[in-house]
Structure 1
């Protein structure tokens, strides 16, 4: 009878989860990110509890730690922008009053006034969009904070409940999937930070070789932009290339677009992510890259986390099924076949 009741309640839980996902579709990405962050903060909360903090206090400290980490990442961008704001006006004063170029035997001239009019119209449109979306963003950030705290606070009980729904003979598989998910999430967030650090170091060298001033400032902006999906450091490089075109330095524009695009915008994703994915999450670099790119293109920013996570869980499930079916590796199978063949060959 108890088994029947638990089965019914399990189906009710699954149906309500689907209904909640349908109703809360607009905040589903926020909920997903909160779950992944809380998943990683639970071990920190346990360590704090082991050091004498209460359950509630350790959950609060872990949540604040996550919030402070985000602030630490974003603060340099605002500090650099405020410190270098006056330098932007100096650079703008260098731009000529008009820019002429020839295309298909037709000469076109763009004045600074026309360009500024377009820029200001775009900025006004962006400002209106930001002002409209700001209340929603603040609500989602508040929801994110409450969700992380509540999940860290009650994560153990939720985990035990979900594990209890799994038949006892499958507990080892559930534990393996749980371990793989935690390791993958840790690797994803560590990879993001490591890629940003690698971008900073590469950008530092590239901007110095190309002869730019304020190389630390430019490298820091490139590293922080690495946290923004799709755009990344390409936004900075495109702006620099356009500036060089505006002042008539086509060679510098080509260099920053080609060399910077390869070394700063493309190389870290190819060189750092796959290698660290293999070391930290035991996930082949090619599979991580497929999950990262596929998730990003399919789901947007949430796909950065969901894509590699699903691929990692798929790999772990294949490994569990392989162990269950006692499937041998190719090398072992060939060796065993050779041994059997040798032993069945009659001696002459």
Structure 2
């Protein structure tokens, strides 16, 4: 190799090493950083409205306080309570009855599914997760501090950050690509995340008023499937109504059906159409693959991060092919 070639490669190797070391430094807090960006985007309209009436630091601080109280703390508490409720649910007589009935189906036996083993493995994972929680508290506190600090500066310097990032878009159509990315983000954050939160609150309150058992688990499942427009809450509330009917709780079953119709016809159809950006619906396949892969890679926030990253990648590839 010529000396000129070596000189050419040295800066590239140094930059690659710096990027790799930087990744090692932030890898444990990538989820917190991405979450701060998503939450900042979510409350940006509120921040801009407040910023007209007060200093930017105060507007950002108020937005962060609201996000922590209304979103972050409830989400953390919900995850913990769902884990506890799920561990109880898996050992309940109802789930054991369901497993016995399903296991008696010839097709299930032929396929080699052992539902009892699956139930035991899921229960073990939950117990281990709850057991490791104490050891994770310092990491959770640091992640929360990083989220707060990152969110503060993202809110305050959002316009300048976006302007700087546009320089790195590898395209002649920078404005079009950045506009497409912004619309995709709005579609996922407002059209899916916000719908999921609304459906979670409505279903949780509804299940609780009806006296439905394990309301938190089913409300959480409804929120999860809200990210999949092709399926939606119907895939959860129908089994919930059937379970109530089998148990002889006919009033609860009818109430669950009414609640499910409200969720399906209003929040999942009318409200989603109002909140979504016209012409920028993320394809259901992209959503499904993004959610599954995102959960594996990023954990619970993968529901949002996965579809966003996949959609951004497809947008950039489409622009690259067009050019």
Map 1:62-81; keep pairs closer than 5 Å. 62-70=63-71, 73=74
Contact map agreement 1:59 1:152 (CA 8 A) in 2: yes
Is 1:41 the counterpart of 2:43 in the alignment? yes
Rounded Cα–Cα distance in structure 1 between residues aligned with 2:24 and 2:158? 23
Deviation string, structure 1 residues 106-155 (Cα, Å, up to 9, x no partner): xxxxxxxxxxxxxxx99997664222222222222222212211222222
| 8 Å contact from structure 2 (residues 290, 310) kept in 1 | no
Aligned-partner Cα distance in 2 for 1:124–1:169: 52
Task: Report the TM-score, using the length of structure 1 for normalisation.
Answer: 0.53
> Taking structure 1 as reference, are residues 67 and 123 closer, same or farther at Cα in structure 2, changes over 3 Å only?
closer
Task: Provide the C-alpha distance between the structure 1 equivalents of 2:222 and 2:78, rounded to a whole number of angstroms.
Answer: 12
8 Å CA contact 1:278–1:284 kept in 2: the answer is: no
Work out whether 1:223 is the aligned partner of 2:219: yes
| Mapping of residues 105-116 of structure 1, within 5 Å | none
> Among 134, 138, 150, which residue is 1:135 paired with?
138
Provide closer, same or farther for how the CA distance between residues 201 and 49 of structure 1 changes in structure 2, counting only shifts above 3 A. closer
Residue ranges of structure 1 left out of the alignment (5+ in a row): 1-8, 82-94, 96-101, 103-120, 209-213, 245-250, 326-348
**Which string of whole-angstrom CA distances, capped at 9 and with x for unpartnered residues, describes residues 40-76 of structure 1?**
333332221223x112111112211211222684699
Q: How does 1:1-348 map to 2 (within 5 A)?
A: 19-51=21-53, 53-70=54-71, 73=74, 128-166=131-169, 169-183=172-186, 184-200=188-204, 203=207, 208=210, 214-215=211-212, 219=215, 222-223=218-219, 252=247, 280-281=276-277, 282-283=280-281, 286-287=284-285, 289-291=287-289, 293-299=291-297, 300-313=299-312, 316-317=315-316
Shift of 1:167: 7.6
Count of matched residue positions in the alignment of Structure 1 and Structure 2:
259
Contiguous gaps of at least 5 residues in structure 2? 1-10, 83-92, 94-99, 101-123, 226-232
Q: Return the alpha-carbon distance in structure 2 between the equivalents of residues 16 and 226 of structure 1.
A: 43
Report which of the two structures shows the higher radius of gyration computed on alpha carbons.
1
